[in-house]
Amino acid sequence: MSKTTKPNATGMAVRAFTRRTLLKTTAVAGAAAITAPWIVKDAFSSSGEVNFMGWAGYDFKDLFAAFTAKTGIKMNFIEEPDNNTIFAQSKLALQTGAVDCMEPTVDLVQQYLENDVIQPWDMTKVSIDNYEPSLVSGDIGSRGEVNGKRYFLPSVWGTEALVFDTQQNPEVYGTASLGDLFDDKNVGKVVVRAHSSLAAMGRWLDAQGKLPMPFIDSYKNDDNTKKVWDVILAEAIKHKKNVVQFWSSENDAQGAFRTNGCTLGLCWDSTGFHLQQDKLPISYIAPKEGAFAWNQGYLLMKNAKNIEQAHEWAKFVSTPEGSAANAKAFAANPSAKGAVALEDPAVAAFYKAAYPGDALSKLWWWPTQTSSFLKLRAEYADKWQAA
């Protein structure tokens, strides 16, 4: 990601939005829907501010302005480039009190709980019925709830799959595979993120029966991780010549295709979308093994100072209008019921092509990742990049 910008005088950082997208609708939201009257039950939450830590690289100006217009609450936005930095700064905020809520992905909730960083949301103030059922129930929904208390409220979701040059490296659904990243025909053509490309290798080897246990079991404990990821790393290193560049941000990934000669990558969906919007011969497709899927949302800091205001922010993004505006800023999937019908149709055509047939039923949601697993994962990623 490019260098972080500082909030402006209104507390909002102004950036051009990039990154993740996956929408399936053709209707467009009217501006009036965002600025309709808003009723705040708690008088203390109809003013004040929220110190919100989220993702750098997006233009939230209109979203934050709409929230302030409805509630009177000012958004103080703290930009961070990735999950690791958001977590590190959250731990620091236990001492500084500078953050009220933040927006990591659901697979990391366990890490925050293990480090005693967060408190549960008050679900009398934010209705669980506002959300798409698939995001708050079943396996993916259960990860945000522990011992009957909900710690995670969904905001947006999307995927990581194959971005490809349609002229030099065409891919077709049904044959497109994670294994293409490591195929000898793609020497000097590939861009990947270190840790997710190792996971891709793991899933590819798993499909061939070449791991000592199912890949998903490598997330269960350290011994499993080492047994499986030792095999993965060794096999990945054999194909290191394929990799031109490792990306760690949206800008990195796009730059690989724009200037570094890459024709295939394992990247966020928005990488393909924005490159194609710039008239490059680029598209995006789910591999036959299934696209990696992520679910992003809000956690409430254990020492939050502006608790009522933070709940109002979460409630706003759980409405169809707020969720659609948030998804537009990210170029991602909204989480609230009814929000899809308000989204920009420009994204719909692109992603209809990206997820044909049974692709959506094959989404591979990132598993829960403990602090111990994440430490090991980082070590393997470092070895992979240094090889």
Is the pLDDT at 8 greater than 60? The verdict is no
pLDDT of residue 46: 60
Task: Output the pLDDT for position 345.
Answer: 80
Greatest mean pLDDT among 18-32, 47-61, 254-268: 254-268
Return the ∠ at Cα 355 (arms to 352 and 359), rounded to 5°. Answer: 150
Q: Which H or E element spans position 155?
A: strand 153-165
pLDDT reading at 3 higher than 60: no
Report yes or no: 6 and 13 within 8 Å, Cβ to Cβ: yes
CB burial string 322-335: b at 16+ within 10 A, e below: bbbbbbbbbbbbbb
Tell me the mean pLDDT in the region 280-298: 96
pLDDT digits (tens, 9 = 90+) for 209-231: 999 999 999 999 999 999 999 99
pLDDT beyond 60 at 14: no
Grade residue 274 by pLDDT with cuts at 50, 70 and 90.
confident
**What pLDDT shows up at residue 343?**
79
H-only helix segments in 72-132? 83-96, 109-114
Average pLDDT score over residue span 324-353: 84
Pick the more confident residue, 23 or 325: 325
Statement: residue 147 has pLDDT above 60: yes
Q: Can you give the pLDDT at residue 251? A: 86
Name the pairing type of β-strands 149-150 and 145-146.
antiparallel
Q: CA 172, CA 286: separation in Å to the nearest integer?
A: 9
pLDDT at 31: 38
Share of the chain above pLDDT 90, in %: 75
Least confident of 2-6, 122-126, 208-212: 2-6
The structural domains of the chain, ordered by start, are: 31-157+294-353 (3.40.190.10), 158-292+356-386 (3.40.190.10)
Of 4-13, 208-217, 371-380, the least confident: 4-13
Q: What is the pLDDT of residue 249?
A: 84
Does residue 163 have a pLDDT over 50?
A: yes
pLDDT at 45: 52
